[in-house]
A and B are shown apart, each in its own frame.
Chain A
Amino acid sequence: MAFDYATWLRPEMMPHIWCPGCGIGIVLKSLVRSMDACGWDQDTIGFVSGIGCTSRAPGYVDMNTLHTTHGRALTFATGLKMAKPSSNVVVMAGDGDSAAIGGNHLIHACRRNIDITLIIVNNEIYGMTGGQFSPTTPTGSRAATAPYGNIDPGFDLCNLTIAAGATYVARGHVGNGVFLERLIKGALQHKGFSVVEVMSNCHTQFGRRNKHPDPSELVTFIASNAVALSQWNKLTDEEKEGKYPIGVLHKVANRPEYCESYHRMSEHAQQRVRDAARKIAEAESMKPKTEPAGGHQIED
């Protein structure tokens, strides 16, 4: 049976703002298909974003959607999840949003291992603001604010989030939606903080300045640099240059999930209150009953 996109989208919000050929649509499609595959009820989903091209995604899908401030999506998502731990909270962010202005929140969400899925659409540029370099723009690339070539080294977001404590970290790219869907589904089903980095194309702002102005050519180029994890370790450092591993790079089940830890602590605190109340009640009942003067004796 064909996938029923109409159920998952807000058709009245179309057309979307993304450039023709943009990779974000592929990511969003993979995401809603993964949500559907997980059997999630739309009403249980809190879909949160920050600012940037990617952050417009929540506007187009039919669920509880939250378009927040630049870099802060994970903070709103953390509050949302804590207020309703049974809900499914998913965040979608770009590379600038999640790793530059939101970098602090990114590492701390990883550290807490709170059960939120973060999809980072990494197109290696600030698209919406006009092509400024981001923390993942390759060194040497041109950008609106790097007319002589970018001198900044970039982050490897997967290594960063693994080091910070995320318990599911995967990477895919927009050239293979089926594979991406599998990675995202794994992330949604994972209990704990999960990250899927999606290498994506911004031909408008990145490609145009870096000899990849055509969207399909850029997607092909991005796909050609992907190396399956099983092959990655066989490459020499020289061969790894300009390429990136894809697949589930990290998955562990040895760390407690944050909301569950909080719940346990809360149960403990409530038990202590009950214990203290019981002790006071017991102490009260031990006290000798003093009868007021002239009071009658209890007869049995």
Chain B
Amino acid sequence: MSGNTNGRVFWAGNEIIAEAALRAGCNFYGGYPITPSSEIAAHLSLRLPQVGGAFIQMEDEIAAMGAVIGAALGGAKALTATSGPGFSLKQENIGYAVMSETPCVIVNVQRGGPSTGLPTAPAQSDIMQARWGTHGDHSIICLTPLYPREVYSETVRAFHLSEMYRTPVIIMIDEIIGHTTESFAVPSDSELAPIQPRSWYEKHAAQNSWRPFHDFYQGKHIHITGLSHTQKGFATTQPEVVHASLMHLVNKIEDDQPKIELNEEYMLDDAEIAVVSFGSPGRAARAAIDQARKQGIKVGSFRLLTFWPFPTARVRKLVDDVKAVIVPEMNMGMLRGEVERAAMRRDVQLVGVNRMGGVPIEPQEILDAIMEVKRGL
């Protein structure tokens, strides 16, 4: 929906992703219809032809991911979007993009699962699949924006990070974020990550590419393969080379984790209870914290905008600073498990507020958890 007043717009989350992608220079979209992500494709089918970019609706999810990688190798900044079952289908080719170090952006508008699950309702249960969904050892960048402005700026940043780290970047939102239309001010260039052509990244990120940096049709006659390969790009089974190439895939992202990390911290300075969340429950958490603070409870919020690579060091420090951590999420404890891993058996109370069934977590549920934890402190 349109409606631009003084830089403020009124767009739904899926529309924001489409517009922000265009802002970032996206000129290729390959997709397949799936609820609740389809509006991204619909919007770009309108907009990409207007700006001379290419839009294609492929015959299935796998094909859409393949087309995105092919287009990226042809020099395009490429995007695809999907949900639940489509995300599962795309996994093999996501792994290909990881292995072939092809920059591209994948959006998963999460819905209830497993299988067909709840197509029209939100969930957060694919966050582990974003990390481990494709086979083989690798690292990945996965962003979890929440507010409209974040959805916009993180989409732009996703394209930047994909070019910078020569990797697919996954944006994980959910049905609520995708379908909620909200007033917000579009960020200015200075508030956004760099928007640059791929050639710019050769100077800044060539070291992040194991294979030759170039794309097709640049006179370099490169070879791209999903097989383990040498730095020249050709298949190899030499153990030392394969090992080094996989170390490269993991370390180029993990070593730079502090540079990629982005969190929102709210009222944590004096907090004895921290609510740690990502995505939609973050808004319920803030509402609950505001209410709890009125009652004098020292509670704050830590919300992840970069879920992968996981901000382990920051979460470990957080756990040291508080007495209890509450983790609300629309799954059975995927973030809680990561917090526990980061806490490394530290003596902290860890409480989950878990809700599935397609109904979002309400502030009251988190407030109840805060009160109960507070009573036990």
Contact = CB atoms under 8 A, between A and B. Distances in A.
Contacts of A59: 223, 225, 234-235
Contacts of B30: 79
Contacts of A13: 234
Contact of A269 (B49, B76, B219): B49
B288 to A, nearest CB: 45
Main SS at interface, chain A: helix
B46 to A, nearest CB: 8
B353 interface: no
Interface string B46-89: 10011110101011101111111111111110100000000000
A266 B224 CA distance: 30
A75 B54 contact: no
Contacts of B56: 78-79, 82, 262
B307 interface: no
A72 B62 contact: yes
A144 to B, nearest CB: 23
B237 to A, nearest CB: 11
Contact of B93 (A46, A69, A273): A69
Contacts of B75: 83-84
A12 to B, nearest CB: 9
Given A66-B224, A266-B49, A75 B216 contact: no
A108 B59 contact: yes
A58 interface: yes
Main SS at interface, chain B: mixed
B366 to A, nearest CB: 43
B360 interface: no
A82 B223 contact: no
Interface string A83-120: 11001000000000000000011001000000000000
B216 A105 contact: no
Interface of B: 27-28, 30, 46, 49-52, 54, 56, 58-60, 62-76, 78, 92-93, 96, 216-219, 221-227, 234-235
11 contacts: A59-B225, A64-B217, A69-B226, A78-B56, A79-B28, A80-B216, A82-B56, A83-B54, A83-B78, A262-B54, A266-B50
- Which 4 pairs, one residue from A and one from B, show the smallest C-beta to C-beta distance? A75-B66, A79-B70, A83-B74, A79-B67
Given A43-B221, A83-B71, 8 more contacts: A65-B224, A66-B224, A66-B225, A80-B73, A83-B54, A84-B216, A104-B63, A269-B49
